[in-house]
Amino acid sequence: MTDTTSQSSLTEKLLQRAAPGRAEFEDLVIVPIFAVIVALIVGALVMLATAVDIETIGRSYLALLQGSLGSVNAISETLTSAIPLVLAGLGLALGFRAGLFNIGAEGQIVVGGIAAVIVGFSFPGLPWIIHLPLALLAGALAGGLYASIAGYLRAATGAHEVITTIMLNLSSYLLLSWMLGLEWMQRPGRSDPVSKSVLPSAELPRLLTDIDPNLRLHAGIFVMIAAVILVHWLLFKTKTGFEYRASGENPDAARYAGMHASAIIVFAMATAGALAGLAGANQVLGVLERATPGFSSGIGFDAISVALLGRSHPVGVLFAGLLFGALEAGGRQMQVDAGVSIDLISIIQALIIVFIAAPLLVRAIFPWGFKKPAGR
């Protein structure tokens, strides 16, 4: 009996770590800061190991800073990169709160982007006030439906969402490459797989073109802020959100309280997918203005890190998304200035999550700075 209780209390603690109810300051602020610092140090060690000299390492971290915050253009790039990360991260955070580990944001972004681009190039003559929301909605709907396949399978058969969503990710790439070769989808006069361009009435307008026509920041930032507020309201102020959190924190208790576990799983996956689909729609309507092979560019996987780093809290996700957007934008600058591959950024990101998800490890590395855990 002690066995099961101690185990269940431990799983509770672990779930709390992924989706804490009332996280303490220490876990919320100190651990992430330590994580970022340690990850940057290990990143430097990786560069040293691949024969990058110390001066270049200094230059690359300087470029990382400049490329993310150093100029108006850098800040615009940071925000532009952050928008899809925050949107998809919010979706994943919702899933984590409901106890679902959805790795499928990538596929949901792809499917959402496809739907948005189809609506975006289809209806010529629509005023933008109808066309743009319609395209965004199409993206959200497609992403939601795609994700709810995995949700339904989890609810009906118990198939683990990690495996099904990964398979849906892989299928979505193939779906994209097939659709980009279709005659009505492909850009006329092009033999390479690129979709038709989105009509101006469905584009997310660029915001800062008055300052400099190259600034890419687009109106998706309002969608992002609205989504943060909406998800916060949904999670913490509505009955549905309470049910998500309850069944994530203690599925048995939630079931005994009369909540429909299966319906919650499907709905939570659908909302998560809708947000990821919205992220895909943002990319095609705001940044690329068309669908290209690989337009999702791993955003869905970075969003997992964003959601974990943000402790599955909407505001946390916002800040984590901004941090990752900055790393992304800075990483591009780093590649240009110092000649260090941008893939280094993904190493740093992975390390950040290791330290976030295993606070015991951070405590083992930095025994000072933390109060002793209670009861030891």
Partner 1 sequence: MTAASTTDLAPDAKIDTHKARQARIYGIVLIGLAILVAAVFGYGSEGNATFGLSRPRDPWVIPNLVIPAASFNYIAAAVLAFLGMRQFMRGGSRWSTVSIAVGFALATAAFLVWATAGKSFSLTGMLSATVVAAVPIALGGLAGVLSERVAVVNIAIEGMLLAGAFTGALMGSLLGGWGGLLSAVLVGGMFGFILAALVVTYRMDQIIAGVVITLFVTGVTSYVSSQVFSEYRFLNNAPVFRAWKIPFLGDIPVIGPVLFNQNLFVYGAFILVSVATYYLFYTRYGLRARSVGEHPRAADTLGINVYRTRYINVTLAGMVAGFGGAWFTLGSVGRFDENMTGGLGYIGLAAMIFGRWHPFGALMAALIFGFADSLQQKLAIVRTPIPSEFLAMAPYLATIVVVAGFVGRSRPPAADGKPYVKE
296 is a contact residue toward partner 1 (CB under 8 A)? no
Residue 193 CB, shortest distance to partner 1, in Å, is: 11
What mask, x for binding partner 1 by CB under 8 A, covers residues 208 to 247?
A: ----------------------------------------
Q: In the complex with partner 1, which residue's Cβ is closer, 79 or 308? A: 308
The residue behind tokens 């996987």 is: 301
Choose which of 126, 145, 259, 354 interacts with partner 1 (CB under 8 A): 354
Q: Are 301 and 82 in contact (CB under 8 A)?
A: no
Q: In the complex with partner 1, which residue's Cβ is closer, 1 or 129? A: 1
365 is a contact residue toward partner 1 (CB under 8 A)? no
23 is a contact residue toward partner 1 (CB under 8 A)? no
Q: In the complex with partner 1, which residue's Cβ is closer, 164 or 201? A: 164
145 is a contact residue toward partner 1 (CB under 8 A)? no
Residues 73-132 close enough to bind partner 1 by CB under 8 A: 101, 103
> By rule CB under 8 A, what count of residues binds partner 1?
56
Choose which of 168, 198, 202, 303 interacts with partner 1 (CB under 8 A): 168
367 is a contact residue toward partner 1 (CB under 8 A)? no
* Straight-line distance from the first to the last Cα atom of the chain, in angstroms, rounded to the nearest whole number: 22
Residues 28-57 close enough to bind partner 1 by CB under 8 A: 46, 50-52
Choose which of 59, 160, 187, 232 interacts with partner 1 (CB under 8 A): 160
Residues 170-199 close enough to bind partner 1 by CB under 8 A: 170-171, 174-175, 177-178
Residue 350 CB, shortest distance to partner 1, in Å, is: 4
Choose which of 291, 304, 323, 326 interacts with partner 1 (CB under 8 A): 304
Q: Which residues bind partner 1 (CB under 8 A)?
A: 2-3, 6-7, 10-11, 14, 17-18, 46, 50-52, 101, 103, 153, 156-160, 162-164, 166-171, 174-175, 177-178, 301, 304-305, 308, 340-341, 343-351, 353-354, 357-358, 360-361, 364
